[in-house]
Amino acid sequence: MSALTFHADLQRWVEEVAHHCNPKEVYWCDGSAKQFKELADELVASGTLLRLNASKRPNSYWAHSDARDVARVESKTYICCENEEDAGPTNNWRAPLEMKATLTDLYKESMTGRRMYVIPFSMGPLGSEFSIIGVELTDSAYVVLNMMYMTEVGNSVLEKLGEDGRFVKCLHSVGAPLGSETESDVPWPCNPDNTYVAHFPETKEIWSFGSGYGGNALLGKKCLALRIASSMAKDEGWLAEHMLILKLTSPAGEVHYIAGAFPSSCGKTNLAMLVPAIEGWKAETIGDDIAWMRFGKDGRIYAVNPEKGFFGVAPGTSYKSNPVAMDTIRSSAIFTNTALTEDLDVWWEGIDNGTSAFTDWQGNRWDPSSGKPAAHPNSRFTVSASQSPKIAPEWQDPKGVPISAILFGGRRSSLVPLVTEAFNFSHGVFMGATMASETTAAAEGQVGQLRRDPFAMLPFCGYHMADYFAHWLELGAKGDESKLPKLFLVNWFRRNEAGKFMWPGYGENARVLKWILDRVQHRVEAKETPLGLIPYTNDLDVSGLNMSDHELDQLFEMDIEDLLNEVDSIESHFASLGSKLPEALRKELDLMRSKLV
């Protein structure tokens, strides 16, 4: 198929890559439903996709990955800038030329026997000053289909790009050339021994090799919209954040937008699709994973969701925990690494719908007594956001929505109270900079280990983490504090001595949001503690929750000994970030310590 663009640089790059990677043909993605169907049919025929039972899950597909390619690979993710110091201690670094040499060797003829797809895509509504265009070249049709759900793809983007528009070059290969015309393919080609997810922030390029899974392969998401965008945002004075965006309407009709940073698999999608458990409140989704934020003309911070779809964690999703997600994925969705029922619908742990798994995520007959989960803990659904019954009408507003409050949260089984408000913006930056969470299956590695994950950006910040903190502080200093969002630390995951969650979570989190908006609107006072401001007992609406005063107190309990240990742990976290750590944050830590002793 010939190019549908007059963009010389794009054409030249496509030709160069095709010449080097040696695909059997080049396929330009126009974004049409016809192409989607064509590719899906091919993937069904070749065994990569399975068509789900159309009477249960119309127009939906199931894929299972190679068992070695199931999550983001942080150990193989690189920031490749000229100076190692600019990547900082939290990123893997390689010199750009060195990484390009390694990868150029790997890409050589890596697409042999496959098609190379050209995916022009836009992160953010086309034409918005927020938006960034990318073009992904990939040899995976599965990636094309997922990108079509997650981003704006096709001719509209090429038109916008015109003859000389700027775009981020995103190169992806699963790294599994087919030796001969007759060699049969595997359902999930990948190359786990040679996987690299490399970012070149200075030249705004992404080179990914060897993995076909999620954020390793759908390069618009974590690679472009967070790692590359965060580095652009620092240079240009805005923010690219790992945050959901939620619209809340109070019983009185007051509308507020809240953003929230939580690490992967800590309930961002659930919170973004909240069904408030308190009377009269309404919640709608703007985005569930990424927020790009900048000052509006009125001095407030505005956010857009640069994505068009959800790539959500399946396990634990049910009509009880997240009915909106369940309704969103009733049709036209792609499921990856979930289990299957006997009649070819999807299944996962916690789906809670009376069915059971028949085959596990690898497609083998599932043995419940094996003790192994049927669905992979990081199994996912991919679906268009527009299918959500609770998507806010303004979710693609090119101006974005004004943010009243920002939440920082993670999984903390102890120590961190249900909700704490920052004393001021820079104390809020301290909260974000020091947040920690118990690790999940969203990334390779052990689950349940406590790690500092500043602003939930540890795996996604495209430059030095201490410079990132400084950027937040500078942005705050530029704003008028009365117009800046108020900042809060939340923790839905605290457990009691018996190991049980102390807070019911899910829809009940609306109670915490209600208090947060009361604070935003100066309707209630708050109690000062060494950690920040917490609710006076009567101000947190727990009516109907059946919670004793003691249980409520426990959610806010602060043990001085534990907090002093936390101060020490933050101290070493800061030390690990080196000499660039902003003085203001060190001062916040000193202040916290002085309040404790």
- Is 222 a binding residue for ligand SAT by CB under 6 A? The answer is yes
Give dist(CA 589, CA 427) in Å, integer: 9
Give the residue among 542, 378, 499, 400 at the shortest CA–CA distance from 445.
Answer: 378
46: tokens are 């070749």
Does 21 participate in catalysis according to the annotation? Answer: no
Q: Does 221 bind ligand SAT (CB under 6 A)?
A: yes
Q: With contact defined as beta carbons under 8 Å apart, do 247 and 287 qualify? A: no
The item of ligand SAT, Mn ion, none sharing an interface with residue 403, based on CB under 5 to 8 Å by kind, is none
With contact defined as beta carbons under 8 Å apart, do 347 and 420 qualify?
Answer: no
Which of 21, 29, 266, 461 is catalytic? The answer is 266
With CB cut-offs between 5 and 8 Å by kind, which of ligand SAT, Mn ion, none does residue 311 bind? ligand SAT
Query: Which residue from 130, 188, 311, 492 is in contact with ligand SAT, where contact means CB under 6 A?
Result: 311
Residue type, 471: H
Binding residue for ligand SAT (CB under 6 A) from 214, 260, 410, 535? 214
Q: Which of 244, 326 has the CB closer to ligand SAT?
A: 244
Q: Looking at residues 240 to 279 of the shown chain, list those that interact with Mn ion (rule: CB under 5 A).
A: 264
Nearer to ligand SAT by Cβ, of 35 and 211: the residue is 211
Min CB(57)–ligand SAT separation in Å: 22
**Contact status: 215 vs ligand SAT (CB under 6 A):** yes
Three-state SS at 401: strand
Cβ pair 336, 382 in contact under 8 A: yes
| Residue 376 identity | H
Nearer Cβ to ligand SAT (173/208): 208
Task: Calculate ∠ Cα 51-55-59, nearest 5°.
Answer: 40
CB-nearer residue toward ligand SAT: 204 or 221: 221
- The entry of ligand SAT, Mn ion, none near residue 215 (CB within 5 to 8 angstroms by kind) is ligand SAT
Enclosing H/E stretch for 170:
strand 168-173
Task: Build a one-symbol-per-residue string for 66-105: x at contacts with Mn ion by CB under 5 A, - elsewhere.
Answer: ----------------------------------------
Contact flag: residue 441 with ligand SAT (CB under 6 A): no
Closest approach of Cβ 314 to ligand SAT, in Å? 12
The residues, any chain, with a CB within 8 Å of residue 403's CB and separated by 6 or more, are 245, 257, 258, 259, 291, 293, 300, 301, 302, 303, 485
454 near ligand SAT (CB under 6 A): no
Selected binder of ligand SAT within 72, 100, 115, 204 (CB under 6 A): 72
Query: Which run of H or of E encompasses 216?
Result: helix 214-217
Binding mask 273-292 for Mn ion (x = CB under 5 A): ----------------x---
The CA distances from residue 329 to 210, 385, 389, 484, in Å, are 29, 10, 10, 35
CA proximity to 289, closest of 311, 317, 316, 274? 311
> What part of residues 19-48 is at the interface with Mn ion (CB under 5 A)?
none
Binders of ligand SAT in range 8-67 (CB under 6 A): none
Q: What is the rounded CA–CA span in Å between residue 154 and residue 142?
A: 16
CB of 289 to Mn ion, least distance (A): 4
How many residues make contact with Mn ion (CB under 5 A)? 2
Does 395 sit near ligand SAT (CB under 6 A)? Answer: no
In the complex, the smallest distance separating the C-beta of residue 221 from ligand SAT, rounded to whole angstroms, is 5
221 touches, from Mn ion, ligand SAT, none (C-beta below 5 to 8 Å by class): ligand SAT
φ and ψ at 429, to 5 degrees?
-65, -35
Least distance (Å) from ligand SAT to the CB of residue 535? Answer: 30
Nearest to ligand SAT of 215, 432 (CB atom):
215
Among 191, 264, 317, 336, contact with ligand SAT (rule: CB under 6 A): 264
Taking the least distance from each CB to ligand SAT, the nearer of 289 and 421 is 289
By CB under 6 A, the count of residues binding ligand SAT is 8
Smallest Cα–Cα separation from 286: which of 265, 267, 264, 268? 268
Nearest distance from C-beta of residue 223 to ligand SAT, angstroms: 9
Q: How far is the CB of 438 from ligand SAT (least distance, A)?
A: 15
Please state, in angstroms and rounded to a whole number, the distance separating the CA atoms of residues 159 and 136: 16
Contacts of 591 (CB under 8 A, 6+ apart): none
**Closest approach of ligand SAT to the CB of residue 150, in Å:** 9
DSSP of 217-277: H-TIIIIIIIIIHHHHHHHHT-EEESEEEEEEE-TT--EEEEEEE--TTSSHHHHHT---S
Q: Out of Mn ion, ligand SAT, none, which partner does residue 214 contact, by CB within 5 to 8 A per kind? A: ligand SAT
- Give the list of residues 6+ apart from residue 487 with CB closer than 8 angstroms, or none: 405, 406, 408, 421, 422, 425, 427, 428, 429, 431, 432
Nearest to 486 by CA among 407, 375, 574, 399: 407
Name the site residues for Mn ion (rule: CB under 5 A).
Answer: 264, 289
Name the site residues for ligand SAT (rule: CB under 6 A).
Answer: 72, 214-215, 221-222, 264, 311, 442
Catalytic residues: 266
